[in-house]
Amino acid sequence: MNGSGTAPAVPRPAYRRLSVEQRRSQLLAAALGLFAQRAPEDVSLDDVATAAEVSRPLVYRYFPGGKQQLYEAALRSAADQLERCFAEPDSGPLTQRLSHALDRYLAFVDEHDAGFSALLQGGSVVETSRTSAIVDEVRRAAAEQILRHLGEPEPGLRLRMTVRMWITAVEAASLIWLDEGKRPPLDELRDWLVDHFVALLTATAARDEQTARITRAALALETAAGPVGDLARRILPVADGAAHLL
Amino acid sequence: MNGSGTAPAVPRPAYRRLSVEQRRSQLLAAALGLFAQRAPEDVSLDDVATAAEVSRPLVYRYFPGGKQQLYEAALRSAADQLERCFAEPDSGPLTQRLSHALDRYLAFVDEHDAGFSALLQGGSVVETSRTSAIVDEVRRAAAEQILRHLGEPEPGLRLRMTVRMWITAVEAASLIWLDEGKRPPLDELRDWLVDHFVALLTATAARDEQTARITRAALALETAAGPVGDLARRILPVADGAAHLL
């Protein structure tokens, strides 16, 4: 067919000389791109070769364990990306730090789409105790970051539970968000999740002295123009008819 | 060894004539008892026969599909039990109805213990898209019950998301509770989860008119001596230093 087709010849990109690490990263990026569009069981090593514009034997050389090895490596790479999302400098109001980290996390969810859902929804054929352990490691890393920002070196049971409950709720919100055609808009979702964090922390503070201390310190750093001031002013009219409770 | 041992002869229970349905229920109850103590992959049909004091061929007759069929049937039976936990009459303050349903749910978690964890933690060899679908069905049933009690026939996105986020947070709390040696005590955990529901609903009400309307109606039914009155009074000192936010 060379030279005889009607379509203009598309120049193939010159074969790129990549290091082993670069090549591996390229293949994993291609795999993550495919996982974002289809169920993990529907992504073959051949698809990755096509997407990365490399030969099939090359992909098989990097992932001799086949589909399962590819999936676990892609998951490992996604988990590393996610853990980097959580890193945030120790300055400014807590809600601002949380907003920044959530912006990065939600951008990750947006980009990885179906791959993110498949990973968390369970029941997939590629799910194993190893993949579950990687997902749990990401949750633990998120909890550690939040506890670090709360400035409590020895967090008690209730504070730890609250943080982990919020993280799970954020995961659930992310899945529903993908399911619902990415509504509400990302910035609204982010602000709302921050509100939920403040609400959960305050509710726990009502019953736990350590959380109360941390919450008071965190509130002192917030401003009237910031998210907590906004939340407080919006809640007042809702609580208006509840004077009989005090 | 008959008659020659030192232990007194324990009379075996007389062979009970059960209907097919009764026998099946008995075997599933025995299986759920075993799943509460060990990982699903470590429970064999022979173990079920021993626990139920029936012959091995009998168990195999009821579950010809082996371990996987037994697990799915036990899960189905547990899901039905759980869904019954959620039913609650439409009277009294919302937090009281929620407390009653949570009492039944948490008693279920307490009783099924390791089986409950295995089910939700994923990565188990017995987990399939069918078992995930059963778990999701239970979550959906819980969400429907809560939305019904909130009295909103056409719940919007934010209200539905809030309810599902709380349900996920309750699951996470249940797993951590089992993991942490069943601390805090069940009644404290229940009250705390009710507080979290009130906090999440109120935070969402701050940004969503439908949720605001429902929250105001729900608060009107609460009493000063009830959980919301208690929560409001406990939160006041935490919010004390936050006057600069208004």
Residues of B within 8 A of A40 (CB-CB) are none
pLDDT reported for residue B124: 65
Residue B139 lies in a domain: yes
Residue A11 counted as domain residue: no
Residue A15 has pLDDT above 80, yes or no: no
Q: By C-alpha distance, which of B157, B129, B131, B132 is closest to B143?
A: B157
B58 lies in some domain: yes
Closest CA to B105 of B193, B32, B180: B193
**Mean pLDDT score of chain A:** 91
Q: Which of A9, A50, A57, A199 is nearest to B239 (CA)?
A: A199
pLDDT computed for residue A120 by the predictor: 79
Residues of chain A with Cβ-Cβ distance to B223 below 8 Å are 244-245
Q: What angle do CA B137, B125, A64 make, to 5 degrees?
A: 120
Torsion sign across C-alpha atoms A63, A68, A74, A77? negative
| Phi, psi values for residue A173, rounded to 5° | -60, -40
Does A173 score more than 60 pLDDT? Answer: yes
Domain count, chain A: 1
Question: Which member of A165, A183, A203 has the closest CB to residue B173?
Answer: A165
User: What does the alpha-carbon distance between residue B109 and residue B114 come to, in Å, rounded to a whole number?
Assistant: 9
Amino acid identity of residue A156, one-letter, is: G
Q: How far is CA A91 from CA A149, A193, A199, A243, in A?
A: 9, 20, 21, 37
Decide if A74 is inside a domain.
Answer: yes
Report the residue of chain B nearest A131, measured CA to CA: B123
**Listed ranges A205-209, A239-243, B111-115; the one with the highest mean pLDDT:** A205-209
Orientation of helix A67-86 relative to helix A129-150, angle to 10°: 0
B191 found inside a domain: yes
**Under 8 Å between Cβ of B94 and B221:** yes
3-state percent helix, strand, coil for chain A, nearest multiple of 5: 75, 0, 25
Pick from A174, A202, A188: which is nearest to A82 by CA?
Answer: A174
Write the ipTM: 0.89
- Tell whether A113 is covered by a domain: yes
Could you list the residue range(s) of the whole structural domain that residue A119 is in? Answer: 20-235
Say which range, A43-57, A212-226, B10-24, has the weakest mean pLDDT.
B10-24
Q: Which residues of A202-220 are buried (b: 16+ CB within 10 A; e: fewer)?
A: bbbbbbbebbbebbbebbe
Domain assignment present for B70: yes
Chain B 146-185, residues with CB within 8 Å of chain A CB atoms: 157-158, 160-161, 164-169, 171-173, 176-177, 180, 183-184
CATH number for B140: 1.10.357.10
Res A8: pLDDT? 53
Domain annotation covers residue B141: yes
Give the containing element (helix H, strand E) for A177: helix A157-179
Residue B122 — pLDDT band, cuts 50, 70, 90? low
Minimal Cα–Cα distance from A216 to chain B, Å? 6
